[in-house]
Amino acid sequence: MVKALTLALCLMTHGLATPALADLVPSDGIATSGPLTDAEFLRLATCGATPDSDCLSPVLRWDKPRLTLRIGSSKGDTPSGFEARLMPAVRNAINEVNAVGAGVSISFTNAPVADITVLATPLGEGTELGEEPGFSGPGVMGVGYMTVWSDERNRIVEAVILISTTITDSDLTSVVLEEVTQSLGFLYDIENPDYEGVSILSQTSNTTTRLAGQDAAILRLHYPAKP
């Protein structure tokens, strides 16, 4: 059975879908204090565990080292020039993932099918979304909205990222990078002042545009490079 898990990215917080066929992810970040070890940060980002708690959901990951990503045809009217604005943000996200040296990489494709599909949508924050294969799981739209579908072995088999055309240029690069990062299985934000403005997974910051430090470390831990 393939099930969907959905995340909505607002400017400062994640809104949560309430999917009928999905695991549930909290509507806000996982609160911690002080710096975490790489292993602790990995558990928080992938299954919602704090250093003193158990996982909230299964750990999901892709089961292949090379993924493809495409920009699909949008549903509804898209402002002129929006794809030209979106492409640099997508390229940045791909380059950041690939530069980490993890055992997973992403390549851009113009093919009609890809592992990860990015779709521009005129839907704004607060729009109710339904269960629609290839588009979204049910939930509430943010400026970004990511759905991953996984199988019974917790392998991610497909991801779709919705980017609202209402997003500002100042938020676009960070939001796309966060959504692409989360599509690799990092489903939980962190609510911790030590990570604000530092981690792409910080709940309270929308300015990070690079994968560095512990963000890069947990990507390498989740997808170890082959010797």
State pTM to two decimals. Answer: 0.88
- pLDDT, average across residues 30-35: 96
Torsion of CA 149, 151, 153, 156, to 10 degrees: -30
What does the pLDDT look like over 64-113, one tens digit per residue? Answer: 999 999 999 887 788 889 999 999 999 999 999 999 999 999 999 999 99
What does the pLDDT look like over 136-161, one tens digit per residue? Answer: 776 778 888 899 999 999 999 999 99
- pLDDT, average across residues 184-206: 93
What does the pLDDT look like over 121-137, one tens digit per residue? Answer: 988 778 777 777 778 77
Q: Quick one: three-class SS letters along 39-78? A: HHHHHHHHHCCCCCCCCCCCCCEECCCEEEEEECCCCCCC
Share of the chain above pLDDT 90, in %: 69
The domain locations on the chain are 3-222
pLDDT of residue 23: 42
Q: Which residue has better confidence, 39 or 21?
A: 39
Fold of 3-222: Collagenase (Catalytic Domain) (3.40.390)
Give the chain's mean pLDDT: 87
Q: For residue 169, give the nearest of 98, 84, 111 by alpha carbon.
A: 84
pLDDT bracket for residue 52 (50, 70, 90): very high
Q: Which residue has better confidence, 25 or 98?
A: 98
- pLDDT, average across residues 190-201: 96
